[in-house]
Structure 1
Amino acid sequence: MTTSSAMDFDYIVVGAGTAGCLLANRLSANPANRVLLLEAGGEDNYHWIHIPVGYLYCIGNPRTDWCYKTKADPGLNGRELGYPRGRVLGGCSSINGMIYMRGQSADYDSWMAEGNPGWGWNDVLPLFKGMEDHHAGANEFHGAGGEWRVERARLSWEILDSFRDAAEQAGIAPVNDFNKGDNEGSDYFEVNQRSGWRWNASKAFLRPIKHRRNLTVMTGARTTHLEFSGRRVTGVAFIKDGHKHIATAHKEVVMACGAIGSAQILQASGIGAASLLNPLGIPVVHDLPGVGQNLQDHLQLRMVYRIEGAKTLNMMANSLWGKAMIGLQYALTRSGPMSMAPSQLGVFAKSSPAQSRANVEYHVQPLSLEKFGEPLHDFPAFTASVCNLRPTSRGHVRITSPDTNQAPEILCNYLSTAEDRQVAADSIRLTRRIVGQSALAKYKPHEIKPGMVGDTDEALANAAGNIGTTIFHPVGTCKMGHDDMSVVDSSLRVHGIEGLRVADASIMPTITSGNTNSPTLMIAEKAAQMILAG
């Protein structure tokens, strides 16, 4: 394999996903900065990326997804899970559920309280607003004219409206905005779409500036490792078109490969726990044991209810006539089921009165299926997926080979703490209480999953292990902080290494209380400001 070393830049951004697209935009705004953006995947020119329902054809597709698998998880009663991660320009914003969610103000205030100045809610809110183009215009909590488009959902469903009424009967009030710092309540999700099309980070931040002469974007470029001079990162080695290349960064390299990819490349480069790297024959540049630790994810419990007397996608999509009508509606109006995010109705609640703030999130869907990637059921049903927003279980990402083309070991350790098992049990009880309200009685809901298991904490936690699955929100594997397991400081510089930062969801010390895509953009925005400030 031949090597080329003729590429010199000021900044190299590794990963053109959600964070990388924004970083490339901001770092190349000054024509004096020469910026290289590397992406292992391809262009985002696959038509299913842009049609909202196309996530069904992007997840599990090697054209757009790394197609990771988790290790068999004891908390899931020994089950493995598919673990999608975007492998295309735009990254996960090209294959995700398009839900716009910031989390809760207390999430960010807790980051700051842990010794990370500048990361409190009052610090990050202006960053969210500055990049936003909100359908309602600018106000105290939202921005207009930014790149990140936020719109209302383009359809509603009778069964979801009734679920919202039932939630209110159960004590969970409707709200009209999840993104003001306290998201407790129910509403249809706002989505990252423009006029019925997916709005990904590539469209928002990269396409408008790809003409810049000081920006080089390389797709199909898989990073193999970082280059060093002592403990200073000097560049990146990558493979493109079967040839090895080395690009030099005179100022900084910024990792933006997400909670899986950033940890994997750091470890493959000799930054990580020596006990992991030595047996693999990887020279240890810096023994940093926190790399790949602290993996957190939202485990969703997909509770399925068969119903009568209401329209659901199950029946619409299970006939040729129904599919034709769905396609025609989208073609003519950019609305209907093809325009919808995977989940439409959101409910944030306390799983029990002991919780101080909303700690579970529902994604309620007018459809049901055995598991993701399988056909919809042939009977009318809805799914009430409920996830623990602040799990205490922690997993890891560990390379098994120096070759970054080999998937790392991913173990989430779901439901491994007593607290998480209690929240899971309480979440099933809460769902049953909502579904038992009079607002849903006319549909005669019958629980299919998990089914009528016993009501003890142990039985319900075991049932959660049977039906639980990822909601695609891995974070935390390069956590920000100053304890023994932290990887970056509050400026996102990697501890003990010069010329290297991490700027993606992996730096979250604790996961945000909601969907993680837009918080990842905020992290990249803040990182860009700090990098440019020197």
Structure 2
Amino acid sequence: MLYLSVNNNKFLGSLKMREFDFIVVGGGSTGGVVAARLAENPNVSVALLEEGPSDWYPWVHIPGMLYKTATGGLLRHLDYNRSDESSSAATTTVQGQVLGGGSSVNGMVHVRGVPQDYDHWEAQGAVGWSFQNVLPFFLRAEGNDTYRSAVHQGNGPLKVSNPRVLHPLSRAWVQACQEAGMPFNPDFNSGEQLGCGFYQTATHNGRRSSVARAYIHPAVKQHGLTVLTNCRVEKVIFGGKKAAGVAVTRDGRQEVLRARHEIVLSAGAFNTPRLLMLSGIGPADHLRQAGVEVVSDAPGVGENLQDHMDVYLIYKLGATRSYDRYKSLPMKLAAGTEYALFRNGPAASNIIEGGAFWWARKDDTRPTIQYCFLPGTGVESGVTPLHGADGCTLNVCLTQPDSRGSLRLNVHNPSGKSVITPNFLSHEQDMLRMIEGMRVGLEIMAQPSISQHISSLHQPSKPFANDAEIASYVRRYAQGALHPVGTCRMGTDDKAVVDPQLRVYGVEGLRVADASVMPTLPSGNTNAACIMIGERAAHVLKVSNKCSEAAISH
């Protein structure tokens, strides 16, 4: 067959072959939504391919087990290539490698960003992706347990809840924010993000509301969605310029899966550009250097990498106890019993309970610093352990970095780990904003409501004397917030990888739908935006492939 003839020799021969109308690569926050929505049409067959296992692990579903999902074996470790010394950020990063992707392992914080984020997308060439255009797809996903308004609804599959549990320290921290001059904000997703408050979370009745739980499993049961886990996609197979199938390795066997209509890559901001390049779509000179036959010269693939960057401040508490008290076995058993009986207690908390958004510079047009308060320690990586005492953590995050990185194949081993160059702090404004964000964070922690509970700083070990010391701390401890976006940017210029309908330029039958298409970062955690992209991508696919409009209903 023609579609097996291009640059795919190791998949030639008597391999098992299966056909579907649509193939979605990646069972994460976007891909799971795309596949589940497409499967609502009884006249089409859909396959969802996920490299990791199913989400059967009990700790995936218990919010308080965040410390385990954020560091455990359900993560794929990716290499960084630090090309400069502007930041000594961690030299590895991770992606969720389990059904549900990041939504199965993340902190469950449900934040959309602000309307200006999406209006800015449209201004950069993502025509039709303004806030008013994307709001219906945020609403289509949302099942909010509290709010009903023009920007909230309660009937969607993704359950969004007010905190089920609030530690007294979280309340004290939000009060301290107000003492520092921040207004209280009851709803960070109202369209106005500025201020402090408590995060709504992707949880329901004390359980995580992941894309796997909200979308994928119901689609398997109700609509016959085919899900293949432990299925590694090696490349897209082309017949000429038409994407016709994918070559996969599953349970040690090589297979070819064919798509009658379209293939959707939803493998994330690291793996999607990697798959495009392995499939012959990317910067032509780089592909030739890596020994990959060029299908389409696409210089923007792997460019425009962005991530939120964060730094942690760790404090040792006095007599006040934090969630650290539950690290001992007897207390773990007590918390587990309370959760099993009542779906309540510390295990029902996502730990990241209080938050705030604030300006780093007076001329910023939107908040550029996000704060996350954790009444405990140990979830964060790259910090000095706090032994024998309780502590609390303040995360200071830059939401609108100007620095840009890139991703490339390892030319000596193209099928191995990609070479990721994050370039954190390569733009001077990012450091200036982080210094101001740290200043404000330290000011909050000095307010009476929270400082009365603190005995000392733990990390850093002593107060900063000046901005130079803050900058040095940021360079040492800054790390990616695991919100990578932008490597297959949507737009209309010659560096854009996909058009506003998410079609990959230069080929047919192939789309990208995940965080990689975002032109710029949203202001806050990216999971909600990824789910919105999935909802919109499914709608576009249904319309363009003349699928039944009945399946688009809520």
Cα distance between partner residues in 2 of 1:516 and 1:144: 20
Residue 76 (structure 1) shift: 6.3
Cα distance between partner residues in 2 of 1:261 and 1:176: 36
What is the DSSP-based 3-state SS (H/G/I as helix, E as strand, rest coil) of the residue aligned with 1:368?
Answer: coil
CA 1:449/1:483 → structure 2, altered by over 3 Å: closer, same or farther?
farther
Unaligned runs of 5+ in 1: none
Specify the alignment match of 1:54 in structure 2: 65
Which of 33, 43, 67 aligns to 2:44? It is 33
Please give the per-residue CA displacement for 1:273-308, whole angstroms capped at 9, x wherever unaligned: 123211211111111111111111111110112232
Q: Does 1:461 align with 2:471?
A: yes
User: Superposition pairs for residues 130-279 of structure 1, below 5 Å?
Assistant: 130-211=140-221, 215-279=225-289
- Matched-pair contact (CA < 8 Å) for 1:56–1:373: no
CA 1:301/1:80 → structure 2, altered by over 3 Å: closer, same or farther?
closer
Cα distance between partner residues in 1 of 2:204 and 2:37: 22
Residue 191 (structure 1) shift: 0.9
Specify the alignment match of 2:500 in structure 1: 490
CA 1:73/1:377 → structure 2, altered by over 3 Å: closer, same or farther?
farther
Cα distance between partner residues in 1 of 2:109 and 2:212: 16
Which of 357, 364, 377 aligns to 2:373? It is 364
Specify the alignment match of 2:548 in structure 1: none
CA 1:3/1:296 → structure 2, altered by over 3 Å: closer, same or farther?
farther
Residue 157 (structure 1) shift: 1.9
Worse overlay, 91-100 or 162-171:
162-171
Specify the alignment match of 2:31 in structure 1: 20
What is the DSSP-based 3-state SS (H/G/I as helix, E as strand, rest coil) of the residue aligned with 2:483?
Answer: coil
Worse overlay, 402-411 or 456-465:
402-411
Specify the alignment match of 2:298 in structure 1: 288
Cα distance between partner residues in 1 of 2:389 and 2:91: 26
Aligned partner of 2:148: which letter?
A: A
- Matched-pair contact (CA < 8 Å) for 1:102–1:516: yes
Equivalenced residues, count: 532
Specify the alignment match of 1:442 in structure 2: 452
- Matched-pair contact (CA < 8 Å) for 1:369–1:377: no
Aligned partner of 1:31: which letter?
A: P
Aligned partner of 1:331: which letter?
A: A
Specify the alignment match of 1:327 in structure 2: 336
Residue 317 (structure 1) shift: 2.5
- Matched-pair contact (CA < 8 Å) for 1:318–1:378: no
- Matched-pair contact (CA < 8 Å) for 1:186–1:347: yes
What is the DSSP-based 3-state SS (H/G/I as helix, E as strand, rest coil) of the residue aligned with 1:67?
Answer: strand
Specify the alignment match of 2:552 in structure 1: none
- Matched-pair contact (CA < 8 Å) for 2:66–2:379: no
Cα distance between partner residues in 2 of 1:76 and 1:87: 30
Worse overlay, 348-357 or 230-239:
348-357
Q: Does 1:127 align with 2:137?
A: yes
Identity %: 34
- Matched-pair contact (CA < 8 Å) for 2:89–2:480: no
Q: Does 1:90 align with 2:100?
A: yes
CA 1:444/1:27 → structure 2, altered by over 3 Å: closer, same or farther?
closer
Cα distance between partner residues in 2 of 1:274 and 1:342: 46
Residue 72 (structure 1) shift: 3.6
Structure 1 length as normaliser, TM-score? 0.95
- Matched-pair contact (CA < 8 Å) for 1:505–1:520: yes
What is the DSSP-based 3-state SS (H/G/I as helix, E as strand, rest coil) of the residue aligned with 2:233?
Answer: strand
What is the DSSP-based 3-state SS (H/G/I as helix, E as strand, rest coil) of the residue aligned with 2:95?
Answer: coil
Cα distance between partner residues in 1 of 2:446 and 2:373: 16
User: Superposition pairs for residues 334-373 of structure 1, below 5 Å?
Assistant: 334-369=343-378, 371-372=380-381
- Matched-pair contact (CA < 8 Å) for 1:453–1:460: no
Which of 417, 430, 433 aligns to 2:443? It is 433
- Matched-pair contact (CA < 8 Å) for 1:60–1:67: no
Cα distance between partner residues in 2 of 1:251 and 1:112: 28
- Matched-pair contact (CA < 8 Å) for 2:50–2:229: yes
Specify the alignment match of 2:547 in structure 1: none
Aligned partner of 2:15: which letter?
A: S
Residue 228 (structure 1) shift: 0.7
CA 1:404/1:92 → structure 2, altered by over 3 Å: closer, same or farther?
farther
Please give the per-residue CA displacement for 1:473-529, whole angstroms capped at 9, x wherever unaligned: 111111111233221111111111111110001100000001000100100111111
Unaligned runs of 5+ in 2: 1-9, 545-554
Structure 2 length as normaliser, TM-score? 0.91
